[in-house]
Amino acid sequence: MYTTCLYDHIRWADAFVIVYSVVDLSSFNEAQYLLDELSKHKLPSYFATLLLGNKRDLDHSRIVAVDAGQELSLRFGCQFYEVSAAENFAGVSLAFHSLLRETRAVQLLRGLPIRRKLGVNSVSKVLGTIFGKNSSKRDRKKRPSLSI
């Protein structure tokens, strides 16, 4: 049942959020498994994925290092943040907004005629959408940090 639902979701979704707990190695292993399944079933289509390491407030019991999360995200080319849902909703919200921006940019690109897809204007437009070209100067200078 779980597997059938999972693959149904994988088929129709454009964006994915995979959450593990930094104090639970099995949840991190499950996150790796899910990223792997996404790649197997979605590629070569582009899809936006957000990997979230939750419970960063429990640093004293941490089992999954920040580097491990970062390496995993690099391996699968997805966004990565560590957050604490218990302590700071703003961080979770920022991460989701970042995923939504990427998803919208991908949809924009999909809607363009094939000839224009590789145009410089299109690329800069998409990058602008992802990295908030229309945001204020102050926001633009900031690079997203891993822990929010």
Ligand X SMILES: Nc1nc2c(ncn2[C@@H]2O[C@H](COP(=O)(O)OP(=O)(O)OP(=O)(O)O)[C@@H](O)[C@H]2O)c(=O)[nH]1
Q: Is residue 129 a contact residue for ligand X (CB under 6 A)?
A: no
Query: Which of 49, 84 has the CB closer to ligand X?
Result: 84
Count of residues binding ligand X (CB under 6 A)?
7
Cα gap 66→56, rounded to integer Å? 9
Task: Yes or no: say if 101 and 135 are a contact pair by the CB < 8 Å rule.
Answer: no
Using the minimum distance from each CB to ligand X, give the nearer residue, 28 or 55: 55
Among 49, 54, 79, 98, binds ligand X (CB under 6 A): 54
Residue 58 is a binding residue for ligand X (CB under 6 A): yes
Question: Does residue 85 belong to the site contacting ligand X (CB under 6 A)?
Answer: yes
Interface with ligand X includes 81 (CB under 6 A)? no
Segment near ligand X (CB under 6 A); pick from 8-16, 49-57, 101-109, 135-143: 49-57
Give start and end residues of each alpha helix (H) in the chain. Answer: 2-12, 25-42, 66-76, 89-111, 114-117, 120-130, 137-141
Q: Which residue is nearest to ligand X (CB)?
A: 86
For the bound state, the minimum distance from the C-beta of residue 10 to ligand X, rounded and expressed in Å, comes to 19
Q: Among residues 124, 93, 88, 87, which one has the least CA distance to residue 109? A: 124
* 148/89 Cα distance (integer angstroms): 9
Q: What's the CA dihedral at 3, 40, 63, 145 to 10 degrees?
A: -120
Which strands make up the sheet holding 15-21, listed edge to edge?
Answer: 15-21, 48-54, 79-82
Q: Applying CB under 6 A, does 55 fall inside the site for ligand X?
A: yes
- Write down the least CB distance from residue 108 to ligand X, Å: 32
Chain contacts with ligand X (rule: CB under 6 A): 54-55, 57-58, 84-86
